[in-house]
């Protein structure tokens, strides 16, 4: 017990303790983002600027780490990839050990995140196939790109030994490793443009590589959260061609334990000021309210978000609520793809 409390009446003691307790930590919204080299951190900061509540965007290891942090109540909200969002909801892939997260809630989705393959120009990597036997960076543990790359490796029938070396560097270090010739290629599931890819292309003349083939077709067909994606030509340098790949969506999630009033206020401030929000980053340019509440969401919608969507008439209140937008019929295992693909 606090020393002064031994000598004071209980009510006075309680008053003193409440004065000395930190008061802002309870009310500050903390949004788990990812590496400052990506778009999530900018998105988190844009969300904080939009909402009229104390708010802080916190860098993290990425989607997978964020989903664990939401589950443990360490952050109020987090940005996560739609593929990992689904795995956490269902307790599959990297979330098998912890099991399905029944408390995970979707708030809305944001930009598209193409799975991006960047290679040293002199490495002779022209297709996904050319990665076999090379030194590559698949992202740090906890990152979303690592989760997506694991799925690509599965679909292609690759294991760690299919590569000369696999590095686990975070997004803000991988471009320099590429420039120094320590890796041949890096992968990043991320919105565009972003500083990691810009650094690789502008500082060391790296190239973007199309990510196509039978394994990718299989992923797109088997999983609703994987869709075709592209990176526009000329985004990073005048001679950079348009890139064809596949991708996921960035989504905003919270726990069912999070105060619905906080989520309601955040959601209302974003949708009431959507034009202003979209101006924060070019990757947000194509966002529409309809796509944000319909695409990439695997967990039930958060109560606070639903309240706003009901008020707007975007989602009809249902008696058997809450009405989750679920990704259904997702296979657990993929059939193997032949090595000639």
112 lines the binding site for ligand GLU (CB under 6 A): no
- We find the least distance from the C-beta atom of residue 79 to ligand GLU, in angstroms, to be 7
Which of 39/243 has CB closer to ligand GLU?
Answer: 39
What is the torsional sign of CA 117, 122, 127, 130?
Answer: negative
116 lines the binding site for ligand GLU (CB under 6 A): no
- We find the least distance from the C-beta atom of residue 299 to ligand GLU, in angstroms, to be 16
- We find the least distance from the C-beta atom of residue 306 to ligand GLU, in angstroms, to be 25
Number of residues counted as binding ligand GLU (CB under 6 A): 15
Place of tokens 């802080």: 56
Q: Write the binding mask 43 to 82 for ligand GLU: x where contact by CB under 6 A, - elsewhere.
A: -------------------xx-----------------x-
Which of 299/306 has CB closer to ligand GLU?
Answer: 299
- We find the least distance from the C-beta atom of residue 81 to ligand GLU, in angstroms, to be 5
Q: Give every CB contact of residue 304 below 8 A, 6+ residues apart in sequence.
A: 258, 259, 260, 261, 262, 263, 264, 265, 266, 267
Closest to 166 (Cα-Cα) out of 189, 196, 138, 127: 138
- We find the least distance from the C-beta atom of residue 338 to ligand GLU, in angstroms, to be 30
- Please give the residues from 156 up to 215 whose contact with ligand GLU meets the rule CB under 6 A: 189-191
Tokens linked to 157: 């029938």
Question: Reduced to 3 states, what is the DSSP secondary structure of residue 175?
Answer: helix
With CB under 6 A as the contact rule, which of the stretches 6-14, 36-44, 285-293, 326-334 interacts with ligand GLU? 36-44
With CB under 6 A as the contact rule, which of the stretches 30-38, 258-266, 270-278, 306-314 interacts with ligand GLU? 30-38
Give yes or no for a contact between 235 and 95, defined as CB atoms under 8 angstroms apart. no
CA gap 28, 23 in Å, rounded: 9
What is the torsional sign of CA 146, 228, 225, 279?
Answer: positive
Question: Per-residue DSSP letters for 95-114?
Answer: GTTT---TTEEEEEEEEEEE
Which of 230/312 has CB closer to ligand GLU?
Answer: 230
CA gap 71, 233 in Å, rounded: 39
Distances (CA, A) of 190 to 7, 253, 341: 58, 17, 26
- We find the least distance from the C-beta atom of residue 200 to ligand GLU, in angstroms, to be 15
With CB under 6 A as the contact rule, which of the stretches 90-98, 143-151, 200-208, 260-268 interacts with ligand GLU? 143-151
Q: How far apart are the first and last CA of the chain?
A: 68
Which of 81/89 has CB closer to ligand GLU?
Answer: 81
DSSP 319: T
- We find the least distance from the C-beta atom of residue 18 to ligand GLU, in angstroms, to be 39
113 lines the binding site for ligand GLU (CB under 6 A): yes
> Cα–Cα–Cα angle for 57, 58, 62, nearest 5°?
115
Which of 39/253 has CB closer to ligand GLU?
Answer: 39
Other Cβ atoms less than 10 A from the Cβ of 190: the count is: 30
Which of 118/123 has CB closer to ligand GLU?
Answer: 118
The footprint of ligand GLU (CB under 6 A) covers: 34-35, 38-40, 62-63, 81, 113, 143-145, 189-191
């Amino acid at each position: 017990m606090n020393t002064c409390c031994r000598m004071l009446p209980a009510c006075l003691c309680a008053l003193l303790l409440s004065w000395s307790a930190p008061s802002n930590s309870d009310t500050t919204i903390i949004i788990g983002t990812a590496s400052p080299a990506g778009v999530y951190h900018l998105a988190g900061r844009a969300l904080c600027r939009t909402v009229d509540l104390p708010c802080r965007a916190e860098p993290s290891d990425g989607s997978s780490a964020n989903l664990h942090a939401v589950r443990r109540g360490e952050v109020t909200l987090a940005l996560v990839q739609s593929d990992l969002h689904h795995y956490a909801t269902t307790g599959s892939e990297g979330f098998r050990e912890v099991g399905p997260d029944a408390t995970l809630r979707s708030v809305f989705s944001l930009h598209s995140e193409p799975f991006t393959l960047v290679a040293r120009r002199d490495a002779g990597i022209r297709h996904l196939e050319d990665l076999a036997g090379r030194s590559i960076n698949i992202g740090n543990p906890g990152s979303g790109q690592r989760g997506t790359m694991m799925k690509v490796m599965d679909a292609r029938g690759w294991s760690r030994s299919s590569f000369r070396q696999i590095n686990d560097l975070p997004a803000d270090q991988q471009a320099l490793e590429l420039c120094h010739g320590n890796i041949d290629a890096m992968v990043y599931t991320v919105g565009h443009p972003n500083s990691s890819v810009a650094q690789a292309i502008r500082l060391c003349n790296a190239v973007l590589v199309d990510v196509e083939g039978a394994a990718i077709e299989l992923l797109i067909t088997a999983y609703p959260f994987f869709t075709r994606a592209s990176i526009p030509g000329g985004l990073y340098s005048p001679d950079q061609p348009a890139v064809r790949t596949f991708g996921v969506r960035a989504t905003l999630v919270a726990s069912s334990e999070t105060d619905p009033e906080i989520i309601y206020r955040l959601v209302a401030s974003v949708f009431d000021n959507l034009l202003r929000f979209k101006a924060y980053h070019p990757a947000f340019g194509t966002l529409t309210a309809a796509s944000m509440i319909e695409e990439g969401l695997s967990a039930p919608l958060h109560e606070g978000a639903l309240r706003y969507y009901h008020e707007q008439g975007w989602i009809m209140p249902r008696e058997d609520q809450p009405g989750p937008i679920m990704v259904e019929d997702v296979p657990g295992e993929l059939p193997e793809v032949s090595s000639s693909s």
